[in-house]
Amino acid sequence: MRAHEAGALHGNDAAPTWLPYPADVNALIPGLWSSTCRRDAEGALEVGGVSVTRIAEEAGTPTFVVDETDFRERARAFRDAFATAFAPHAGADVYYAGKAFLCGAVARWVQEDGLGLDVCTGGELAIALRAGFPAERIALHGNNKSDSEIRRALEAGVGRIVIDSLPEIEQVAEIAGQLDVTAPVMLRVTTGVEAHTHEFIATAHEDQKFGLSITSGDAFTAVQQVLASDRLALHGLHSHIGSQIFDVGGFEVAARRVLDLVARIRAELGHTIDHLDLGGGFGVMYNTQHTPSTPEQLAGGIAGIIEKECHELGLEVPHVAFEPGRAIAGPSTLTLYGVGTVKDVRLGGPHHRLYVSVDGGMSDNVRTALYDADYSCLLASRVSDEAPEVVRVVGKHCESGDIVVKDEYMPLDVQRGDLVAVPVTGAYCYSLASNYNHVPRPAVIAVKDGQWRTLVRRESEDDLLALDVG
């Protein structure tokens, strides 16, 4: 592409149409902030009874701040909503998807609150087992499991291994044979659903790496192979259509296709599939464009869909499971950043954009760069009477795509030394964090009842240097 002198056309300082002009730029937008967030008497944001100014002083920045109460309330709300909606049938389990964010404390919360745990690598499994998570409530996922991951899962006695491909059937059976055990397995099937979400996080269409296609016949073949193995016990079918989904219609199509397969397995193989796992993917509110459903609405809607499909196919409603990650972890957490350089960039004519640089960036939240995600933020250390201005919050990395919040109104006097909070960063931010530019990863702390404690300590320069042994 030909380089040319940049002009005003490359910049646009106007607010995007979806971003409403704030009636009060200091106010917390309902739905965006975890349940214990409020402004304290000095005007600082407070979460879990701890002010962000205290967090910055004592824990430093950038820091992920998990509102323990909020996280656990959400986990229990999903558990209860699905249990209630499927109580007239064979019941429902909720597995927290640890890929959203996992550490020992979170594994223990999830255990105490009666959920299962979905892990997708040996590392996630190791965290769960070290935290004492009961293995029988763990599901192991992954499209490319190593022999040692499978062996470790079987030795620990996980409740299910979700098989993702035809070659994996033989792989799991062989390792189960070596260990002289029977492996409880589910088969992940792809339903051909086009979930309306970002391409990288949609997982049920045909041309992607996950699962066994129903359309091609691989899913049916896999069922036959598992049933023929004396080392594998078929625990049920699994389908996950994608992530950050708001339209329940995607689940409807997926449920119908999976239940059609269940009916075919019964008719042709005489086998009853009595467990169905429909994965996760429930969308959350990152900004005012998003209106997520409550767990009760989701559970009720999906139960209705499954009841109807089962009725039409003459099937009993199976025991069901769901695997929400983002919808539990995401809204529970905010990232607290310190503001550094504030730069007013002239774009030509009357146009300009205020760039607010914070002390983290794409190494702690790559979602803006990777998925074009639109986050929100707030001046958190104080309130201001200044007029709102559309700003761009950027990180400290050596890359112009290092954007944390593309567009947000902030008071015009935002300045070095202020604290900025970005809400809904509990899912796929720390878990996708990197050391790009040799920036150490932030700390993760939990707040509750006026106390804070470290869940994952901040990485130090020594940690980084320790890896460099050459």
Closest CA to 377 of 385, 369, 365, 3: 365
- Please tell me whether residue 244 adopts helix, strand or coil conformation: coil
Note whether 295 binds ligand LLP by CB under 6 A.
no
* Residues of span 101-160 touching ligand LLP by CB under 6 A: 118, 141
Between 62 and 338, CB nearer to ligand LLP: 62
Count the residues of the shown chain that bind ligand LLP, applying the rule CB under 6 A. Answer: 23
Considering only the stretches 10-18, 53-61, 68-76, 274-282, report the one whose residues sit in contact with ligand LLP under the rule CB under 6 A: 274-282
Q: Is 327 an interacting residue with respect to ligand LLP (CB under 6 A)?
A: yes
Q: Is 281 in the site for ligand LLP (CB under 6 A)?
A: yes
Q: Which of 25, 56, 97, 204 binds ligand LLP (CB under 6 A)?
A: 97
Q: Which two tokens stand for residue 202?
A: 């949609």
Nearer to ligand LLP, 71 or 409 (CB): 71
For 366, half-sphere exposure in the C-beta direction (CA atoms, 13 angstrom radius) is 12
8 Å CB contact between 321 and 94: yes
Classify 196 as helix, strand or coil. coil
Segment near ligand LLP (CB under 6 A); pick from 62-70, 124-132, 324-332, 454-462:
324-332
Which residue among 62, 116, 142, 279 contacts ligand LLP (CB under 6 A)?
279
Q: Distance between CA atoms of 31 and 50, rounded to whole angstroms?
A: 20
Cα 361 to Cα 357: distance, rounded to the nearest angstrom: 9
Q: Give the number of residues written for the chain.
A: 470
Task: Provide, rounded to whole angstroms, the least separation between the CB of residue 425 and ligand LLP.
Answer: 10
Does a cis peptide bond (omega within 30 degrees of 0) precede residue 20? no
Q: Is residue 398 annotated as part of the catalytic site, yes or no? A: yes
Q: Nearest approach, Cβ of 116 to ligand LLP (angstroms)?
A: 12
**Smallest distance from ligand LLP to CB 172, Å:** 17
Residues 342-381 that bind ligand LLP (CB under 6 A): 367, 371
End-to-end CA, the chain: 39
Question: Of these, 159, 280, 331, 442, which contacts ligand LLP (CB under 6 A)?
Answer: 280
Helix intervals (H) in 340-405: 367-371
> What track of x and - describes contact with ligand LLP for positions 235 through 264 (by CB under 6 A)?
-----x--xx--------------------
Burial class (CB in 10 A: 0-12, 13-18, 19+), 465: exposed
Tokens describing residue 33: 């902030």
- Please answer whether residues 226 and 168 qualify as being in contact, where contact means their C-beta atoms are separated by less than 8 angstroms: no
Q: Report the run of H or E that residue 313 belongs to, with start and end.
A: helix 295-313
CB of 328 to ligand LLP, least distance (A): 8
Binding site for ligand LLP (CB under 6 A): 97, 99-100, 118, 141, 201, 240, 243-244, 279-282, 323-327, 367, 371, 427-428, 432
Active site residues: 398
